[in-house]
Structure 1
Amino acid sequence: MKEGVRLPSREDSLPKRFYKAVSVVETDGGWTVQLDGRGIRTPMKHALVAPTRELAELMAAEWDDQGERIDPFTMPVTRLAHGAIDSATGNRDAIIAEVLKYAGTDLLRHRGEDAELVRRQAEIWNPYLDWAETVLEAKLPAVTGIMPAETTPQAMNALKSKALGYDVWRLTALGQATALTTSAVLGFALVEGRASAEDVFAASRVDEDFQAAHWGEDAEAVARAARLKGECLAIDAMLKAL
């Protein structure tokens, strides 16, 4: 019997590991990861330099953990660093505008119609909205339904002012956390240390967890949730290393 033709896998397309030793070295402007004594470049060919040794060590661990192939999806902190250096440095206004866009459609503001779900949403989400009003000076009232909620210029300006004060690393964290949770409030909460990454991610999953409890959850949804949680934990790890 003829052996079937083996189809190429995703792993086959990944670059082979070409280095043995990974080290962290102090350099101009911060700390860099070296592979066999040579520095790393970002996709845009910038030097991969971290502002702290702790952050560089997180990236070094990701590079050291690679097997025969280099898989970027297993290196979330390194990818965040690429974003900070390649994208955030020259696109601050665009990142802030994208974060502010979530304010009107913020996950935490939009409540369902099922009484049990609404109770759960209020229990988990209202403290974050109260915090946003008190600490960020942005009042973002909750509404029922999916239509964009009314957002005052004062609230938008307050959020913008807070984001403008972030360096490129924290701004990258804010942008990624906001997109991941579909909530600017949760993004700010993570960057500002209002809540842990676990709590922020759990808050972003209230609706999904409610549906799963009532109707079940398939393997694909579970895998996706695990991947997103990993990304959220990586953002938090980067923030703590700054």
Structure 2
Amino acid sequence: MSEWAAKRFWDKAEVSEAGAGFQVTLDARPLRTPFKSALILPTRAMARAVAGEWGAQGEQVDPLSMPVTRSANSAIDKVAPQHAAVAAMLAGYAETDLLCHRAGTPEGLVQRQTKGWDPVLDWAARIYHAPLIPTEGVLPVGQPEDSLTIYGNAVSELRPFSLTGFHDLVTLSGSLILALAVHKGQITVQEAWSLSRIDESWQIEQWGKDDEATEFAARKKDEFFHAARFLKLSDGA
């Protein structure tokens, strides 16, 4: 039996203003989320991206080819109703941030982590006046309460659409600090991805590639780059 797929039922996907935001219409019918909420987007750039995804569909609709639409749906249906809880969960990454947990050996990996991660931690400490303490190993170390409060406030200030993209940057990298650095334009998304993969890259250099792990990493990278794009679209870029 062949799998069912929704068929295209519209000719034009267009952008129009909707109050303080923007909407996408399919032959003048506004899009709605899976929970039947109005799909009101915060920026024209995001609305154009959503319209582009719908306009590019063939005879059958492929939801996997519409990542901006899916993230926008999540922002409205999932993130907005529990904004405080999502923000608190992400802020909690400051307590065990990837950049703070260092290897003790081998020396080559230690140096690579120090060279890559220290500048980003130093930047965050300077900009936010919120230092975090690096430690050796995976066991948590007590971080300054003032710093945790500051980072918590910074995350809670993000609006639902921005928080949606920010969420994936944090969870896919394991680092609140890397996500903040991308959001603030301190580093590129490619730099952040590479910094988040220092340990994995080292292991590959020592032992070679594993096909399954490589495929999994490629999917994570695509999701990470999409998250950065969605965050920029949320800000109008």
Q: State whether TM-score is above 0.5.
A: yes
What residue number does 2:178 align with?
A: 186
What residue number does 2:95 align with?
A: 104
Q: Which segments of 5 or more consecutive residues in structure 1 lack a partner in the other structure?
A: 1-6
Q: Is the 8 A contact 2:6 2:60 kept in 1?
A: yes
What residue number does 1:75 align with?
A: 66
Q: Is the 8 A contact 2:88 2:156 kept in 1?
A: no
Cα distance in structure 1, aligned partners of 2:107 and 2:8: 53
What residue number does 1:209 align with?
A: 201
Q: Is the 8 A contact 2:166 2:231 kept in 1?
A: no
Cα distance in structure 2, aligned partners of 1:188 and 1:77: 21
Offset, 1:95: 1.0
Q: After the TM superposition, which residues 159-170 of structure 1 pair with which residues of structure 2 at under 5 Å, given as runs?
A: 159-170=151-162
Structure with more relative contact order (C-alpha pairs < 8 Å, separation 6 or more): 2
Cα distance change, pair 68–219 in 1 and its aligned pair in 2 (3 A): farther
Cα distance in structure 2, aligned partners of 1:52 and 1:188: 21
Q: Which amino acid aligns with 2:180?
A: F
Cα distance in structure 2, aligned partners of 1:224 and 1:95: 25
- Pair 1:126 & 2:121 matched: no
Offset, 1:69: 3.6
Task: Kindly provide the CA deviation profile for residues 25-57 of structure 1, in whole angstroms up to 9, marking residues without a partner as x.
Answer: 222231112223211111221111112111111
Cα distance change, pair 39–172 in 1 and its aligned pair in 2 (3 A): same
Task: Kindly provide the CA deviation profile for residues 131-185 of structure 1, in whole angstroms up to 9, marking residues without a partner as x.
Answer: 1111122211111111112212111101012122222222222222111111111
- Pair 1:149 & 2:116 matched: no
Task: Kindly provide the CA deviation profile for residues 70-104 of structure 1, in whole angstroms up to 9, marking residues without a partner as x.
Answer: 33333222222122212222212111211122122
Query: Which stretch of the first structure deviates more once superposed, 223-232 or 141-150?
Result: 223-232
Query: Which stretch of the first structure deviates more once superposed, 232-241 or 155-164?
Result: 232-241
How many residues align? The count is 233
Offset, 1:15: 3.2
Q: After the TM superposition, which residues 41-80 of structure 1 pair with which residues of structure 2 at under 5 Å, given as runs?
A: 41-80=32-71
Q: Is the 8 A contact 1:190 1:200 kept in 2?
A: yes
- Pair 1:228 & 2:220 matched: yes
TM-score, normalised on structure 2? 0.89
Offset, 1:13: 5.1
Task: Kindly provide the CA deviation profile for residues 91-137 of structure 1, in whole angstroms up to 9, marking residues without a partner as x.
Answer: 12111211122122211111122211111111111111111111122
SS of equivalent residue, structure 2 residue 119: helix
Cα distance change, pair 31–117 in 1 and its aligned pair in 2 (3 A): same
Alignment equivalent of 1:90, drawn from 81, 102, 113: 81
Query: Which stretch of the first structure deviates more once superposed, 125-134 or 31-40?
Result: 31-40
Cα distance in structure 1, aligned partners of 2:144 and 2:228: 30
Cα distance change, pair 38–105 in 1 and its aligned pair in 2 (3 A): same
Query: Which stretch of the first structure deviates more once superposed, 71-80 or 46-55?
Result: 71-80
Name the % identity: 36
Q: Is the 8 A contact 1:129 1:141 kept in 2?
A: no
Q: Which amino acid aligns with 1:49?
A: I
Offset, 1:204: 1.1
Q: Is the 8 A contact 2:21 2:41 kept in 1?
A: yes
Cα distance in structure 2, aligned partners of 1:150 and 1:180: 23
Cα distance change, pair 14–165 in 1 and its aligned pair in 2 (3 A): same
